[in-house]
Structure 1
Amino acid sequence: MIQYIEQVSNNKQKIGKNGVPGSLRMLIYHLKKYKGDRILLKDVDVKYLNGFVRYLSSAISANSGRQKRTLKQSTQHNIFASLKMIVHQAIKDELLAHDPTKSVDSPTTVQSHKEYLTESELKKLIATPSRNEVVKRSFLFCCFTGLRLSDVRNLTWNHITTGSDNQMQLNFRQKKTKIENYIPLSDNAISQLPEQHSSDSVFPLPSDNAIRETLKKWVSDSGISKHITFHCSRHTCGTLLLNSGVDIYTVKEILGHTDIGTTMQYAKVVDRTKRKAVNSIPPLY
């Protein structure tokens, strides 16, 4: 089975699904920890799968180091989803006759709360000085583009180009998914770009700890009581786009998601916001 997973991973990468190999490497790591690497596809039955779900519930993360952190519920869910994908692919390839995953309950996952900033809160932040202008500009830039911290940290002036319509845009490869993406730059995003200087880096950012401390002080000074991390800028972008009427598939492309299900989480946030808004009107009957 391990050899088959590696083959599927290579095939997915060849057709441009660059986010899949990373997920399958994690799957292989935990399958080996569970029962070794000698398992055959035909031996992946309900008993094997139920045992794997139990293993995942107490498994140690591959990246936890000495801390020995167990897997998050969402990670357990994603690993098992990868295994289900392999089983389904094996059925398509006529290597398995039936789907044993139908009789197995996947690891449960708790939908994490995605904190984000509203338009009025963004205006407060824009108006509030920060002790580090680069952190401020880069965070706001990500609120308007959806970039991750890793991508904005690696952003160079060569990534910013002018399209055939004379509009500025970003052309870059996402560090997390390895997928090529391009994002048209809005006036809001362009307004946060610094003047181009000799350095290749658009936003020469300090360490992650320095960013956290700067962001915490800046948010506090603006009067916003939410717990805002740098990644909240990405959540803010997705929520702002959907609240502005942008369709879910366009938001998926802007954020560079490989799965529409990930983007749908932002739609749920917007639905709650709309329901709260309409329920704020008192009874008039």
Structure 2
Amino acid sequence: MSIQISYRFVIKKEKNKQGLYPIYLRAFLKGKKIETATPVTIPLRDWSLRNQRVKSQNNYHERYNMILDAIDKKSIKLLVNNFLNEEYPLSLVQFKDRLLALNHYSVEQSFTDYILGYLEENKTKFKTETWFGYKSQISKMLKFKKEILFSDINERFINDYRQYMLNTLSNNENTASKSLRVLRTFVNISMRFGYIKTNPFQYISIKKVDGKRDFLSIEELNKLTDYYSKDNFAKLIEKDILGYFLFACYTGLRYSDLKTFSTDLIVDNSIRLRMHKTGCLVNIPLSKKAKMFLPNITFEGSSVFRVYCNKVTNKELKKIGADLGLKKKLTCHVARHTFATASISLGIPIEVVSKLLGHTSIRTTQVYAKIVDTVKIKEMQKWDN
């Protein structure tokens, strides 16, 4: 058996959010290759293609080259040990997995740089929204601390970060908890590959409280529907946005589903689609009210609605709500909450509502039952009868 894997350091030609270019270890075997991210990111001009190292003109060249030297040495050691002690040569995947499992940086390494590299390398494995959400969470962490090393990730860091989100950023408890759950995901990735040895979340509980869910009453929904029917809009964009917002109020579709909603998903007066967020298949019969908001024309191929970006949508909805004197802040997700609460108020069984919403657990739907006071009053009046 001979050592068949060769490798070299390369600079990727796609810059990150900071305008820097990541350095990867590229390994080769029988015409195939695999890449492993390093924490080194530099300006393109600072890379020496010949030496496979960072040029001395970079202020951090000594630190970066120490990291690359350490990876180089561990790679050689890994291949030699396999050659001397094992019966079969390593595959590219085995080589990468073993290299990642080693704590192969002899100097302090950036936790956030590693996670950013991991996200870039595994981009195709994530949904687009998830991937961008993770990148956004990294940016949020870097506002708390400009450089976060693996050695920084401990119980105190987590608690300090939580307080920063609650007190400095004025995040509510659920928003802060969501960020901590993402951080825990990053920690688990780091533990899986041996960069973090002990779990800093071991004695930390992440709270989830019942948040305030804005929804329209049936009277408010009717008011918006009447306003739409009068077709007295100053701008076409207002009609477009209110149209798909109200359609969501009568069907329970999420904003992400509206964006990909096409004519072929309407079959026998029902919507049949696989929900973008959960992947659940749903069948939502179209009511007469819902059909009112289906445009006569399609957009961009077979799209049913001309859906604007989330920011523009919410801005226009907020303006419409203010013009009509609604005290509630209208957003895309208010439509889904409205469908759920209105359905329960109308007496539709919660099991049916759960199926229409595409919930995987009825407990998720029961949150809406808790906040519909009219249903509670109606049910308690049975005692009077």
**How far apart are the structure 1 equivalents of 2:177 and 2:225?**
34
What letter matches 2:296 in structure 1? E
Aligned to 1:231, what secondary structure does the other structure show?
helix
The percentage of counterpart residues that share the same residue type is 29
**How far apart are the structure 2 equivalents of 1:77 and 1:247?**
35
Partner deviation per Cα, 1:120-159 (whole Å, 9 max, x = no partner): 1111112224432111110010001100111111101011
- Which residue is equivalent to 1:46? none
- Which residue is equivalent to 2:112? none
- Pick aligned residue for 2:296 from 179, 186, 195: 195
The Cα shift of 1:179 comes to: 2.1
The Cα shift of 1:34 comes to: 11
Does structure 2 conserve the Cα–Cα contact (< 8 Å) formed by 1:157 and 1:200?
yes
The Cα shift of 1:239 comes to: 0.2
- Which residue is equivalent to 1:264? 366
After superposition, where does 1:76-95 map in structure 2 within 5 Å? Answer: none
Does structure 2 conserve the Cα–Cα contact (< 8 Å) formed by 1:34 and 1:55?
no
1:153 aligns with 2:259: yes
Partner deviation per Cα, 1:68-114 (whole Å, 9 max, x = no partner): x99835537977999xxxxxxxxxxxxxxxxxxxx978432221111
Aligned to 1:201, what secondary structure does the other structure show?
coil
Does structure 1 conserve the Cα–Cα contact (< 8 Å) formed by 2:314 and 2:330?
no
**How far apart are the structure 1 equivalents of 2:156 and 2:278?**
26
Moved more, 204-213 or 241-250: 204-213
Aligned to 2:332, what secondary structure does the other structure show?
coil
Aligned length: 215
1:244 aligns with 2:346: yes
- Which residue is equivalent to 1:184? 285
Moved more, 127-136 or 214-223: 127-136
Quick check: which has more Rg, 1 or 2?
2
1:170 aligns with 2:276: no
- Pick aligned residue for 1:137 from 243, 253, 264: 243
Q: State the TM-score, normalized to the length of structure 2.
A: 0.46
- Which residue is equivalent to 1:234? 336
- Shift in CA distance, 250/54, structure 1 to aligned 2, threshold 3 Å: farther
After superposition, where does 1:107-126 map in structure 2 within 5 Å? Answer: 107-126=206-225
Aligned to 2:270, what secondary structure does the other structure show?
strand
**How far apart are the structure 1 equivalents of 2:160 and 2:376?**
35
- Which residue is equivalent to 1:75? 178
**How far apart are the structure 1 equivalents of 2:351 and 2:150?**
40
Aligned to 1:183, what secondary structure does the other structure show?
strand
- Which residue is equivalent to 1:93? none
Does structure 2 conserve the Cα–Cα contact (< 8 Å) formed by 1:242 and 1:267?
yes
What letter matches 1:115 in structure 2? D
- Shift in CA distance, 53/106, structure 1 to aligned 2, threshold 3 Å: farther
List gaps (5 residues or longer) in structure 1: 4-18, 37-50, 61-66, 83-102, 163-167, 280-285
Q: State the TM-score, normalized to the length of structure 1.
A: 0.61
List gaps (5 residues or longer) in structure 2: 1-100, 102-126, 139-147, 164-168, 186-201, 381-385
- Shift in CA distance, 117/53, structure 1 to aligned 2, threshold 3 Å: farther
- Structure scoring higher RCO (CA < 8 A, sep ≥ 6) equals 1
The Cα shift of 1:210 comes to: 2.0
**How far apart are the structure 2 equivalents of 1:248 and 1:240?**
11
